[in-house]
Amino acid sequence: MTIVFDEFELDPARRELRVEGKARPVQPQVFDLLLYLVENHERVVPKQELLERLWPDAIVTESSIQRGVSLARSALGARGAELIQTFPRQGYRFVGKIQRARKQSPTLSLQPRYARSGDIHIAYATLGGGDIDIVVVNGWIMPMRAMFQHPRTRATMEALAAIGRVITFDKRGTGLSDRVKELPSHEQRMDDLRVVLDACGSNQAILIGPSEGGALAILHAATYPERVRGLVLCGAFARMTRTPDYPTGYSLEEMEKLKGYIRGGWGKGASLRAITPTELSDPE
């Protein structure tokens, strides 16, 4: 939803703070802090709650929160200190008068459906509407529901749904799709994507492929070019291992190190530290 107060608009979907219709630069963590205070404007938000909700996996001091609040006030200009008040030994409260809050469209709620690919049921969902189909091919084991469990990824999906019809799905063996006994081939997974697009009546779409989802998006585009309107790759790769015609891939030794990390360190935050370290330690 877009929240309006005085001359300000706070737009979570586009992650924008607008002043009289013009976007004002706000650092990501500061935006999250401001949004949380505005959404909970009816009460004082304790500092500990801000720590737990906004920085659950990071070591953040009270001074870091104070700096974040200071930056949020600065983003609101001359009225910042008036709109965000400090309650000593308690926390902070946004006291601006909310003029209007436009709730998100019901079409953005995730309503899974199923398409049959051979003997496997593939879960998929559509969001939003419009003439342009946008297919999000998530990386590796990322289920589509996870995209709605973090404010930033949810905002991304909402922003895409404002442009066109978003199609997302769970690869076989992940999320709400059927489990499999053997690792599927790229061709099998590509056919799963084709089945989902057929079920949605999508003849041509823009494919967004982050990380490992990029390889699947590339394969689909190369196999069915007439069904692809555009290809957006984010941190993606055509393959992981190095070959004579693909020298940018990992060597066998590097692949073994990666496998060792997955076996012993997966889920402990090492990937986040390497890829987006500010998510762990930057209060802004």
pLDDT band at 262 (very low <50, low <70, confident <90, very high): confident
Judgement on whether residues 85 and 144 belong to the same structural domain of the protein: no
Q: Is 172 exposed, middle or buried (0-12, 13-18, 19+ CB in 10 A)?
A: buried
Q: Is 142 helix (H, G, I), strand (E, B) or coil?
A: coil
Minimal CA–CA distance to 70: which of 95, 120, 34, 96? 34
Counted residue by residue, the chain has a size of 284
Summarize pLDDT for 131-148 with one digit per residue, the tens.
Answer: 899 999 999 888 998 888
We report the CATH number of the domain holding residue 233 as 3.40.50.1820
**Longest distance between any two alpha carbons in the chain, whole Å:** 64
Q: What is the 3-state secondary structure (H, E, C) of 197-228?
A: HHHHCCCCEEEEEECCHHHHHHHHHHHCHHHE
* The predicted structure's pLDDT at residue 271: 74
pTM over 0.85: no
Q: Specify the pLDDT at position 217.
A: 96
Same domain, 81 and 173: no
What local confidence, expressed as pLDDT, does residue 58 receive? Answer: 67
pLDDT for 115 equals: 94
Residue 265 lies in a domain: no
Do the beta carbons of residue 215 and residue 193 sit within 8 Å?
Answer: no
* Together in a domain, 29 and 129: no
Instruction: Identify whether residues 117 and 216 lie together within a single domain.
Output: yes
Angle between helix 47-54 and 62-75 (nearest 10): 90
* Domain final position from 102, 132, 148: 102
Residue 142 belongs to what domain range? 109-238
Contact status, residue 37 vs residue 84, Cβ threshold 8 Å: yes
Tokens 């205070």 appear where?
Answer: 37
- Written as six digits, the tokens of 189 are 């997974």
At 189 the three-state DSSP class reads helix
User: Which of 102, 117, 146 lies at the terminal end of a domain, its last residue?
Assistant: 102
The per-residue pLDDT for range 175-206, each reduced to its tens digit, is 999 999 998 999 999 999 999 999 999 999 99
DSSP-H helix ranges across the chain = 28-39, 47-54, 62-75, 80-83, 151-161, 186-200, 213-223, 252-265, 270-275, 278-281
pLDDT digits (tens, 9 = 90+) for 22-58: 889 888 889 989 999 999 999 999 998 888 888 776 6
Instruction: Return the minimum-mean-pLDDT range out of 120-129, 150-159, 207-216.
Output: 150-159
Quote the pLDDT of residue 106.
Answer: 42
Q: Which of 196, 238, 210, 204 is nearest to 224 (CA)?
A: 204
Residues 76 and 185 in one domain: no
Share of the chain above pLDDT 70, in %: 91
List the structure tokens of 165: 């019809």
- 263 belongs to a structural domain: no
pLDDT at residue 151 greater than cutoff 90:
no
Q: Are residue 52 and residue 118 in the same domain, yes or no?
A: no
Does 25 reside within a domain? yes
Strands 205-210, 84-87: pairing kind: unpaired
Which residues on adjacent β-strands are paired with residue 116? 121
**CA angle, residues 121, 122, 125, in degrees to nearest 5:** 135
Q: Cα separations (Å) of 213 from 8, 143, 174, 217, 243?
A: 37, 12, 13, 6, 20
CATH number assigned to the domain comprising residue 92: 1.10.10.10
Tell me how far apart the alpha carbons of residues 277 and 281 are, in angstroms, rounded to a whole number: 7
When the pLDDT of each residue in the chain is averaged and rounded to a whole number, the result is 87
